[in-house]
Structure formats: C-alpha cells, structure tokens
Amino acid sequence: MTPPRDSPRHLGSVPAPGSAAPELDDLLRRVARGDEAAFGALYDQVAPRVFGLVKRVVRDSAQAEEVTQEALVEVWRTAARYDASRGSAAGWLFTIARRRAIDRVRSEQAAADRIRRTATQEVPFDEVVEEATARVEQQQVRRCLKGLTELQREAITMAYYGGHTYREVAELLDTALPTIKTRTRDGLIRLRDCLGVSFG
C-alpha cells in the first residue's frame, strides 16, 4: 500500500498553493506572547476552517458557533503550549477544535444513540465534495481523496469529520478492526504523498 519511497513527497517542503503553514506557526508564537493583533490575524486565517470542521462534527449551526468560540479562546489561552517540534500549528489547532466538538457531541447524547443515527445518515465524502468550493487547496485535497480506495477514504473521513474513533468506524463499516487500522494509515500516507505534505 505504501507508495515507493522515491515518490515526490518532499516537494512539499515548498508550501502547496494557498498553504500558509509557516505563517501560522509564526502567528501562534506571537499569540503565545500575548499579541492580540497576531491573534486577530490568526483568527482571519483559521476561523473558517475551524468553524467548518466543528460544524461538520456537531452538525448544528448554533452549537458550532459556541464550540468554535470556545476552541479559539482555548487556542489563545494555551498557545504557549504548542510545541513546534512535534507537529504543525494547523494540526495542533484543529485538534483542539475537533476535540471540543466531539466532547460537545458526546455530552449531548449517548454514544450508542449517535452510532445508530449516523450509521443511517452518514455519507461524508459526497457531502464534503458537494460543499467544497473552487479554492485551489480544496481542489487539491478533493483530487487526492479521490485517489484513495473507497475503504481508505471512508475510514479517514468518518473518523475525521464524523468524530468517530477507529473502533467506532470499524463497527459502522462492519469491517475488522485491524483492517480499519491499516486502511486508515495507508490512506493517510497516500494522501500525504499526493498532497506533498512534509514536516520538519
């Protein structure tokens, strides 16, 4: 499953079109020092993605607004604890937002109830494609997602956008746990190579 190591993943050291990762890192460092103007710039850069992601997970606009605010305030509060040597600023920030969103969903309803509901409703990839606009980076992610196998794509989008653990994904897809584990990893590796993402 893993593409050959000579595939062009290190092209990613040149930021993808529209990618603003270095700048985000820098903004976060300034935010950590209490720079409110930097936080404003960071807000402008990430708020649509944070709001979109949270909305995708909680599936309710009013709650998504609340959770997005909480998550962004948390980013302000804990910015000093972001460790650039361990991961990208965007990854850190979206993890905070996604966890908040998942906490909200879990406190709203029993997990079993949610599994039952989403099992019948969830068609993440189609919805995602439908909503994607023509922005360049979105097109790139969309194209790369299309390059995955169906199971890889489902495992990743259900976990990420659905806020499910891989165990829940296995249950929802009625697929063996080790299969979901490996497909998730293989799919992400393929996505990484397609997007040319690198780190460090």
Partner 1 sequence: MSPEVHTLAGAYALDAVNDIERAEFARHMAQCPACAQEVAELQATAARLADMVAVAPPAWMRGAVLGQIGQTRQVGPWRRDAGAPAGQARWRRVAVAVAAAVVVAAGAGTFAVQEEHRVRDARAAAAEASTIAAVLGARDARVRSEPVTGGGQVKVVVSDALREGVAVLSDLPTLAAGHSYQLWLLPPGQTVNVGVLRSGTGRQLFTDRHGAPTFAVSEEQVTTPVTTPGTVVQKVPLL
Sites for partner 1 among residues 69-108 (CB under 8 A):
69, 72-74, 76-81, 86-88, 90-91, 94-96, 98-99
Q: Map the footprint of partner 1 across residues 145-164, applying CB under 8 A.
A: 145, 156-157, 159-161, 164
By CB under 8 A, residue 1 contacts partner 1: no
- How near is the Cβ of 11 to partner 1 at its closest, in Å? 13
Contact yes or no for 130/120 (Cβ under 8 A) = no
Which of residues 60 and 188 has its CB atom nearest to partner 1 in the complex? 188
9 contact partners, CB below 8 Å, separation of at least 6: 192, 193, 196, 197, 198
Residues 152 and 163: their CA atoms lie apart, in Å, by 16
| Neighbour-count burial of 163, counting CB atoms closer than 10 A to its CB (0-12 exposed, 13-18 middle, 19+ buried) | buried
Which of residues 81 and 120 has its CB atom nearest to partner 1 in the complex? 81
Residues 148 and 128: their CA atoms lie apart, in Å, by 15
Sketch the per residue contact string, 174 through 193, with partner 1: x for CB under 8 A, - otherwise: ----x-xxxxxxxxxx-xx-
Residues 158 and 161: their CA atoms lie apart, in Å, by 6
- Nearest CA-CA partner of 112 in 171, 24, 199: 171
Tokens of 119: 């099992």
165 contact partners, CB below 8 Å, separation of at least 6: 159
The binder of partner 1 chosen from 137, 143, 147, 149 (CB under 8 A) = 137
The binder of partner 1 chosen from 141, 151, 171, 173 (CB under 8 A) = 141
Residues 107 and 105: their CA atoms lie apart, in Å, by 5
- How near is the Cβ of 139 to partner 1 at its closest, in Å? 10
By CB under 8 A, residue 166 contacts partner 1: yes
Which of residues 118 and 160 has its CB atom nearest to partner 1 in the complex? 160
By CB under 8 A, residue 55 contacts partner 1: yes
- How near is the Cβ of 42 to partner 1 at its closest, in Å? 10
By CB under 8 A, residue 29 contacts partner 1: no
- How near is the Cβ of 188 to partner 1 at its closest, in Å? 5
